[in-house]
Amino acid sequence: MKKKKCVAMLLAGGQGTRLFALTDRVAKPAVSFGAKYRIIDFPLSNCTNSGIDTVGVLTQYQPLILNEYVGNGEPWDLDRSYGGVHTLPPYQAKQGGEWYKGTANAIYQNMHFLDRFDSEHVLILSGDHIYKMDYSKMLSAHIARGADCTIAVIDVPEKEASRFGIMDYGEDMRITSFEEKPKKPKSNHASMGVYVFKKDVLVRELTEDAADPASANDFGKNIIPKMLREGRGMFAYSFSGYWKDVGTVSSLWEANMDLLGDKPAFDLDDPSFKVYSRNDPLPPSYIGAGGRFENSVMTTGCEIYGTVVNSVIGEGVTVLEGAVIENSVIMQGSVIGKNVKINYGMVDENVIVEAGVVIGDDKSDKDHIALIGRDSVIKKGTEIKSGEIIERGKKA
């Protein structure tokens, strides 16, 4: 078989604890976003749009919905007879299997996958960011510099820098320092969690790391600092498009809101760089005679009889008469009853909000989003305060 130039390994096992009820039963990459997508659609579509046709998806936490969603990879054109998408869960071996201990350990345990395709380079991605990126440009830069490892960087606002892996690099893009989540960041060059390694280098580093009992087996904490200490060829690749870490409720809400407006911060409507997704076969959405739908997006199968302003409405959502939804995200299959008021709310999939419910109050804003977990039923007349979280399946 012909060698692959580059295969991608997508770390999709994270629990995403700061998304609370949203990740009760699903892994973070399977959380809904932007009316018709799930977070994992972005790295998968990026791979397809970058000509990378072999992707290992490493799953661990609550993988069922994620596995079903990825399936054979057909929506992303990743159903290939040689290559394509493969889900790689932890497995049991003769010497006893174990859970993935860290990001590096997850890849280490799937070295057989890298060996099978024996690519020259390995692209490592995470399943918790929203962005459109052509990885082939990064790969070209990586090859041109003969780098051992290339890390994608994006400049973030200084006050947020301590949430990321922060690095410094010279004019030649050679990385000089790297600190994971520093208290006092030296710069605002943040790691996007997108790495390209020479495959042989990656195999060597992972093997050494696995032999070190003191290691947390993590790329940001162990592998990258060690390679820097040893003076390996580490380069930064600067990316300047839209990129958002959606690890918290307010950042996920913000990323959804970034789709709105006449000139949205994040524009999905680009036929030359489509984001692919798996969707139900539903008819187009309908807005009723008394419906109002302003500065908002939705996808197929919605029925809108109430008012929707500044919001993102997922597949097959129904909004009944008299309901008013503002500054909110309603995910697929949910039904919003008559005269319901929602302001600064996130309603997960398949929630039923009965008539007259009020979600949000005068303290509601982007830092106080009310969150309703999937499959919940919110009983008639309930009031849910700003920032309140209703767990999955609860009947409030």
CA dihedral 10, 4, 112, 14 (to 10 degrees): 0
Residue numbers 258-297 binding other proteins by CB under 8 A: 259-260, 262, 264, 268-270, 274-277, 279-291, 293-297
The whole-angstrom separation of Cα 221 and Cα 142 is 22
The site string for other proteins over 25-54 (x = CB under 8 A, - otherwise) reads ---------xxx------------------
- Closest contact distance (angstroms) between CB of 115 and other proteins is 30
In 3D space, the residue among 131, 376, 168 whose CA is nearest the CA of residue 266 turns out to be 131
CB of 306 to other proteins, least distance (A): 12
Cα–Cα distance measured from residue 201 to residue 13, given in angstroms and rounded to the nearest whole number = 24
Contact between 237 and 147 (Cβ < 8 Å): no
Q: Which listed residue (300, 339, 350, 382) binds other proteins by CB under 8 A?
A: 300
- Min. distance of Cβ 158 from other proteins in angstroms? 32
Whether 187 and 237 have beta carbons less than 8 Å apart is answered as no
Q: For other proteins, what does the binding mask look like between residues 328 and 367, x meaning CB under 8 A?
A: ----------------------------------------
Burial track 19-33 (b if 16+ CB lie within 10 A, e otherwise): bbbbbbbbbbbbbbb
| Token code pair at residue 198 | 């020479």
Which neighbouring-strand residues pair with 179?
166
Q: Which is nearer to other proteins, 251 or 299 (CB)?
A: 299
Task: CB nearer to other proteins: give 185 or 314.
Answer: 314
- Please say whether the beta carbons of 251 and 367 come within 8 A: no
Any contact of residue 131 with other proteins (CB under 8 A)? no
Which residue number, 107 or 336, has a Cβ lying nearer to other proteins?
336
Binding site for other proteins (CB under 8 A): 34-36, 74-75, 259-260, 262, 264, 268-270, 274-277, 279-291, 293-300, 303, 312
